[in-house]
Structure 1
């Protein structure tokens, strides 16, 4: 019986990837950051949905947290920076607050990704709750400091609650995406 001489199983020189395959890999790798930017644009639009402004940080934090753990190449630090800048430019909060919070969440998720990636979805949800709560408290403290008065915490609590509620839904969606359309290895 002769072994299969397919290039994937044999070490050595491999044919160069075509332009279309390289573009496909690039598109699959950039999809999570692009969809996060699209979500920022849609949730910042004047749609007059109840809780729309409070939902935006939860969706963005969930996206940055998930992709930083499971596909960090799809959510690099420059993409997180641009998403935070976009949230700050389109929002009514002080500039730089969400940018800083997103970069901190990204850094925490990256540094703990090997432990977090092994967790069950419920444990990961609790971990996200802790990171999200710390980010929300930091956001509240920065907004209060920059406005020179103590801001009411009810809106920030509502924002955290919405973020906790949306995480399991986004986790399921992002997991399916990471196995199919956002998987550069399937290109």
Structure 2
């Protein structure tokens, strides 16, 4: 090859991404938020399953915490805000309580994500248990203050226990999704 004949592509330069690849990347990046929204809708539906209402905050907090730690672009602050608004609109609690709780959990996960992403899953589970306990106590306190009476603690303890119990299962599912269909790098 002569010096005035340049190769078609130089090392490190990629061709422009097509519209379909960009749509694929966008759909993969948005999958965690969509799945969380669908879970909120399903857990808010009146199916009559025992513990269904108490499971909703645990699934929501688990999802927001996990994706905020491992794929913060997939669970950005505006998406968390919209999920919190959705839960507040579908729930029977005081407006804004779950929105504030979910945003605080998201903020804690983002602040510690570099450390949380490196720890063993059992340590991450313990961290989530503490964050979830703080979120549940805050939710209980806000609902008690807004209703001007002390709300029964056992319902919130059950809600916390369900959230902590479902976190390892959701971690397994989310890790599998994060390595396959929810990975924008594989688009």
Answer yes or no: same fold by TM over 0.5.
yes
Residue in 2 that maps onto 1:55: 55
1:137 aligns with 2:132: no
Residue in 1 that maps onto 2:11: 10
Q: What is the 5 A alignment of 1:23-102?
A: 23-102=23-102
Residue in 2 that maps onto 1:154: 154
Q: CA deviation at 1:68?
A: 0.1
Q: CA deviation at 1:10?
A: 1.8
Counterpart Cα distance in 1 of 2:8 and 2:71? 28
Which string of whole-angstrom CA distances, capped at 9 and with x for unpartnered residues, describes residues 92-132 of structure 1?
A: 00000000000000000000000000110100000000000
Which string of whole-angstrom CA distances, capped at 9 and with x for unpartnered residues, describes residues 9-44 of structure 1?
A: 9223x2110000000000000000010000000000
Gaps of 5+ in 2: 1-6
1:110 aligns with 2:110: yes
Residue in 2 that maps onto 1:182: 182
CA shift in 2, pair 1:48/1:6, >3 Å = farther
Residue in 1 that maps onto 2:4: none
How many equivalent pairs are there? 181
Counterpart Cα distance in 2 of 1:94 and 1:11? 53
Regions of 4+ moved over 6 Å: none
Say which SS state the counterpart of residue 59 (structure 1) adopts: helix
Counterpart Cα distance in 2 of 1:10 and 1:52? 54
Which string of whole-angstrom CA distances, capped at 9 and with x for unpartnered residues, describes residues 39-61 of structure 1?
A: 00000000000000000000000
Counterpart Cα distance in 2 of 1:56 and 1:178? 22
Alignment TM-score, normalising by the size of structure 2: 0.94
Counterpart Cα distance in 1 of 2:169 and 2:69? 17
Q: CA deviation at 1:6?
A: 11
Determine which structure has more spread, i.e. the larger CA radius of gyration.
2
CA shift in 2, pair 1:153/1:6, >3 Å = farther
Gaps of 5+ in 1: none
Say which SS state the counterpart of residue 140 (structure 1) adopts: helix
